[in-house]
């Protein structure tokens, strides 16, 4: 019985240590990428978020780091803005991998010593569990280098090129974004699929391509919710909430997706967050006062210099916010 408890304890510690390994890796990414010009935005872990608050109500607090509660997740999720040339990205990546290996090697050495030196069975089980996880990642990181040349990495590279093309060109209408299944490279990773489909959806919205919008939503809805990192999951569900509230007027499905992101969307003060909540408030809740407040906050958010926001996104959000403002103004005149 005691042995079984020790085994279970070791397995539980091993599982929990995965998040710790990923957190260490994310901290190393921040340490090497920010000095190179990347912008740290947010790191979430175990129900908390450390983020650079660009949209604080008090202008003096904008751009400052703050800690707040977030949806619980056992693994960290890092959001960082670094649209670098591919060569610079590889250079920083090599530094990150090297330092991560060194740090993990040191931790593995300490844990090995602890396993040998500590006589207490339950304490030893804890260290064995941690050693199993840290040891696995210590071996996996060097092995991941040759694997990174596979299809997953090809798709990520293809995606980044499309994003740079849109950022540099300033127009999404002229960027070729074929359906996902027609791309020259494919991926099984839902996160990459979401990022590409989000670009296609933005283009369809900008050009008012109703068939394209419906096709993208169908593909976005097929993505497995639980396979996405928490931030991407919130963004995906907010996109679906917006579609069913505004385009389809399907208030049941809009509410379903709203409930899945309620905590995050109510606190999201960027222009997209305010706009999607404003549309939901107007078309589903019929709450014109809340919708107007969201419009005002969204238009104010457009004045914030957000490096994550592409110029085309600014143009789209402004157009949609002004449309909702016009609807509200027209209804007010009728009273």
* pLDDT single digits (tens) 63-80: 788 887 777 777 788 887
Please, what's the b/e burial string for 180-200 (b: 16 or more CB within 10 A of its CB; e: otherwise)? beeeeeebeebbbbbbbbbbb
What is the Cα–Cα distance from 95 to 83, expressed in whole angstroms? 17
Question: 86 or 40, which is more confident?
Answer: 40
Asked, for residue 294, whether it belongs to a domain, the answer is no
pLDDT, residue 225, reads 77
Same domain, 33 and 163: no
SS3 43: strand
Name the burial class of residue 299, with classes exposed (0-12), middle (13-18) and buried (19+) by CB atoms within 10 angstroms of its CB: middle
Strands 39-45 and 48-53: antiparallel
- Asked whether the predicted pLDDT for residue 138 surpasses 70, the reply is no
Final residue before a domain boundary, out of 165, 199, 228: 228
What is the Cα–Cα distance from 44 to 125, expressed in whole angstroms? 28
Domain that holds residue 110: 2-38+82-147
Final residue before a domain boundary, out of 196, 228, 260: 228
Question: 247 or 59, which is more confident?
Answer: 247
SS3 100: helix
Task: Look up tokens 């004045």; give the residue.
Answer: 303
Among 5-19, 49-63, 176-190, 240-254, where is mean pLDDT lowest? 5-19
Asked, for residue 180, whether it belongs to a domain, the answer is yes
Task: Look up tokens 């027609």; give the residue.
Answer: 182
Same domain, 100 and 25: yes
* pLDDT single digits (tens) 109-123: 777 776 677 766 656
Task: Reduce the secondary structure of 148-194 to three states and give it as a string.
Answer: CCCHHHHHHHHHHHHHHHHHHHCCCCCCCCCCHHHCCCCCCCHHHHH
| Residue 25, phi then psi, degrees to nearest 5 | -60, -45
Output the CA torsion sign for 79, 85, 87, 88: negative
Final residue before a domain boundary, out of 228, 243, 275: 228
Same domain, 207 and 167: yes
Q: Give the chain's mean pLDDT.
A: 81
Asked, for residue 205, whether it belongs to a domain, the answer is yes
Same domain, 142 and 7: yes
Same domain, 11 and 126: yes
Task: Look up tokens 């990347």; give the residue.
Answer: 38
**Percentage of residues in the chain having pLDDT higher than 70:** 81
Residue 168: partners with Cβ closer than 8 Å, 6 or more residues away: none
The confidence band for 149, taking pLDDT boundaries of 50, 70 and 90, is: very low
Among 120-124, 167-171, 245-249, 301-305, where is mean pLDDT lowest? 120-124
Q: How many helices (H) and strands (E) does the chain have?
A: 11, 4
Asked, for residue 29, whether it belongs to a domain, the answer is yes
Same domain, 93 and 216: no
Same domain, 136 and 176: no
* pLDDT single digits (tens) 201-222: 999 998 889 999 999 999 999 9
Same domain, 196 and 213: yes
Strands 64-69 and 77-81: unpaired
Q: Please name the residue ranges forming H helices in 243-310.
A: 251-265, 271-280, 288-301
* pLDDT single digits (tens) 2-22: 445 555 555 655 666 777 778
pLDDT, residue 126, reads 61
The number of distinct structural domains making up the chain is 2
Question: 38 or 288, which is more confident?
Answer: 288
């Amino acid at each position: 019985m005691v042995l079984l408890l020790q085994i279970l304890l070791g397995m539980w510690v091993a599982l929990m240590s995965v998040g710790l390994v990923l957190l260490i890796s994310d901290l190393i990414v921040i340490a090497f990428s920010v000095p190179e010009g990347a912008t740290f935005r947010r790191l979430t872990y175990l129900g908390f978020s450390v983020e650079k608050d660009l949209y604080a109500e008090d202008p003096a607090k904008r751009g400052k780091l703050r800690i707040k509660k977030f949806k619980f997740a056992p693994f960290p999720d890092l959001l960082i803005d670094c649209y670098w040339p591919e060569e610079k990205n590889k250079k920083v990546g090599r530094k990150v991998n090297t330092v991560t290996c060194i740090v993990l090697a040191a931790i593995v050495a300490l844990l090995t010593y602890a396993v040998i030196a500590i006589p207490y069975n339950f304490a030893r089980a804890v260290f064995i569990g941690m050693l199993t996880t840290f040891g696995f990642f210590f071996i996996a990181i060097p092995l991941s280098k040759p694997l990174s040349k596979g299809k997953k990495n090809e798709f990520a590279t293809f995606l980044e090129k499309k994003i740079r093309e849109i950022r540099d060109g300033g127009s999404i209408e002229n960027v070729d974004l074929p359906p996902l299944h027609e791309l020259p490279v494919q991926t099984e990773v839902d996160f990459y699929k979401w990022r590409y489909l989000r670009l296609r959806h933005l283009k369809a919205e900008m050009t008012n391509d109703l068939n394209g919008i419906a096709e993208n939503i169908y593909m976005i809805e097929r993505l497995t919710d639980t396979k996405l990192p928490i931030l991407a999951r919130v963004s995906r569900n907010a996109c679906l909430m917006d579609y069913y509230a505004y385009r389809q007027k399907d208030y049941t499905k809009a509410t379903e997706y709203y409930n899945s992101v309620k905590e995050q969307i109510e606190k999201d003060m960027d222009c997209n967050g305010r706009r999607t909540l404003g549309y939901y408030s107007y078309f589903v809740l019929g709450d014109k006062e809340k919708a107007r407040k969201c419009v005002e906050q969204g238009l104010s958010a457009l004045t914030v210099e957000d490096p994550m926001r592409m110029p085309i996104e600014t143009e789209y959000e402004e157009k949609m916010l002004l449309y909702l403002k016009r609807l509200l103004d027209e209804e007010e005149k009728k009273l």
